[in-house]
Structure 1
Amino acid sequence: MINGRKLLNGAYIDHDIVIQQDRLDDPLQTCLLGKFVEGKHVYRQTFIIRSYEIGPDKTATMETWMNLLQETALNHVTSSGLAGNGFGATREMSLRKLMWVVTRIHIQVERYSCWGDIVEIDTWVDAAGKNGMRRDWIIRDYYTKEIITKATSTWVIMNRETRKLCKIPPQVRQEVLPFYSTRLAIAKEDNDVEKIDKLTDDTAERIRSGLAPRWNDMDANQHVNNVKYIGWILESVPILVLQDYNLTSMTLEYRRECRQSNLLESLTNSTTATKNKLKAELEYTHLLRMQADKAEIVLARSEWKPKQIKHKSSS
């Protein structure tokens, strides 16, 4: 068994697809497989952008990128041989009923791929302070090796039963220590580390209420998948911005869990608008909160740049 797939007579099998070992250089075949590069410090996986992963402008979305980052991270844990019986948890974490939860993620997008494009994602981990873990990613165009997206995130450990944060046990630290890499996907000077201003009913320009999580929004850890929050955050962004601008940067700070029974509100406020003859850039602050008691779920900041208009050539 390799990366969750059976190995039979030298061939990788995934359902009815058989991938011969002598064809592993073909990106159409290796999209189902990941591999370690540079020793065991970097895990690399290749993906083809599917038709259901693109938005109205026929390119991948921020949610697509976040889903692929999450998939690569989980496959990294599985392929490392550390996976226990939890969702992304190591064996020692599973024994102690622990799980990873993300507290902050920052992603910078140079461009979004189109349907049928092939991307290559690298991911690695490192310590974050005394009691956290940092995970970074880089997304490249498979053929040109152009870096099109960078991301960094911070994770802590939570007890699955008490839902309380706890320190990383020494046994878990020893498991992940051999995989640590000190490199950075985003340089410190380029990372968005500024505090995100909180929004209220008085400061928010737009409020969208009545957002209800569905059963399919829940993940294997029995809380709303963190990628789902992005869609709800964008519910309160002006439609003209969604149509005419690309989301080029997003920072999310996760405050608490959300369950299916919770009803949510999405708040948005414009913080900057810089315009000149060459470009117009927008920045927004967001808050996703419980509708009943106004408890904060996610604070976020987004940056937008106008989409490039493709002019038709005259005949």
Structure 2
Amino acid sequence: MATPASQTATRVASGQCRFGRPEKTAKCGSLNLRSCDNGGSGRNGRSVTVEAVNGAVHVNGAAAVRVGHVPVPPPSSVADGDAFLLGKFVERRLVYRQQFVIRSYEIGPDRTATMETLMNLLQETALNHVMCSGLAGDGFGATRQMSLRKLIWVVTRINIQVDKYSRWGDVVEIDTWVGSSGKNGMRRDWTIRDHNTKNMIARATSNWVMMNRETRRLSKMPDEVRQEVLPFYLERSIITADANKSSKIEKLTDATAEHIRSGLAPRWSDMDVNQHVNNVKYIGWILESVPLDVLEDYHLTSITLDYRRECRQSQLLESLTSMASSVAADLALSASNLCSTDLQSTHLIRQENDKAEIVRARAEWRCKEKNRRQSDI
């Protein structure tokens, strides 16, 4: 049954359809209205009266259409807005789980998800975790007490390890949870599983501290904030602290870097709501100074990023890369022999004008299987 142009349905649920102020309604299952008017006037100033008894319908006294059975919609288990997040809590609400489909614009030349895609999915799951937990204030992942004190979260280190990259159309299942990290920090961990096989294909851990969004200085964690997040702490580490902090990342210089790419300019679209460059964007800048043969023949299987200062849009950047000494000789080999060993690399993102460090990184690379088989021939 079409609704009058000046009146929309106020509710359709459990077999009942109401417009305006229903005077009488009957049981579920079919549209069984005795009479209903739209309250006297609408946008066109006309009063519309509908009368129906299990079939024959009259609008303002004129026969219109025959109304059949109106199916009862299934009950919704979540609020309409939350349904689109597609996440849920598991393990006594300590772990938040969300599923994603790998889209065509999230894959690279080899048709698999990129490291940037995985990092973006981790960030999205973390933010939805805060939102669905009821902790969110008006900031980007900030709690209510953080918002009152003008505090934001900033990441200091993240380590992601990938066993297998998903392909276009694959569905991945991401779990995330939080725990303590020292006196004033928080740790967030993730696991990524293939939805069909349930095999773990990636894992990640990160450390976060608080910054005042106006002064841009780091802050201690207020007791009020600690009380907010404490009930959600799960002291479980997917990557051990020793492995995550196993060694200090070497600082590259003009003398030690083998490849330098200058003139990298953050764009407006690279900024997040906290008015600095989104932490995922640094992955792309790091790869700008990696040799093309490595990008073509290797998978980036692990990367650790140490964030040393925030970056604004007005700053020009440089990307420095150095492959491990044991790999340097391999890079001089022909492409057919390039995959005889796995690689390691060290990276630095710095400001171009004053050479101030922004991000240090360390990465590991594994030869793509097709190239490994060729090198064994």
TM superposition score normalised by structure 1: 0.88
Matched, 1:146 2:203: no
Contact 2:286 2:347 in 1 (8 A): yes
Aligned to 1:156: 209
Alignment of 1:216-295 (within 5 A): 216-273=269-326, 279-295=340-356
Aligned to 1:193: 246
Matched, 1:126 2:126: no
Give deviations 1:261-313, integer Å, cap 9, x for gaps: 000000001125468999511000000000000000000001001001188xx
Distance 1:180 1:234 in 2: 34
Letter in 2 for 1:65: L
Q: Which 4+ residue blocks in structure 1 deviate beyond 2 angstroms?
A: 19-24, 187-193, 272-279
Distance 2:150 2:225 in 1: 12
Q: Relative to 1, partners in 2 of residues 1:98 and 1:186: Cα closer, same or farther, differing over 3 Å?
A: same
Letter in 1 for 2:363: S
Contact 2:339 2:367 in 1 (8 A): no
Shift of 1:21: 5.8
Distance 1:130 1:158 in 2: 15
Shift of 1:185: 1.1
Q: Relative to 1, partners in 2 of residues 1:20 and 1:295: Cα closer, same or farther, differing over 3 Å?
A: farther
Shift of 1:91: 0.3
Alignment of 1:39-118 (within 5 A): 39-118=92-171
Give deviations 1:177-213, integer Å, cap 9, x for gaps: 0000011111345435310000000110010000000
Aligned residues: 292
Letter in 1 for 2:353: A
Contact 1:247 1:302 in 2 (8 A): yes
Distance 1:42 1:31 in 2: 19
TM superposition score normalised by structure 2: 0.74
Identity of aligned residues (%): 68
Distance 1:23 1:182 in 2: 30
Letter in 1 for 2:199: E
Contact 1:272 1:284 in 2 (8 A): no
Contact 1:32 1:46 in 2 (8 A): no
* Rg larger in structure: 2
Distance 2:357 2:294 in 1: 25
Q: For structure 1, which runs of at least 5 residues remain unmatched after alignment?
A: 1-7, 11-18, 25-29
Q: Relative to 1, partners in 2 of residues 1:218 and 1:141: Cα closer, same or farther, differing over 3 Å?
A: same
SS in 2 for 1:250: strand
RMSD of Structure 2 on Structure 1 (CA): 2.4
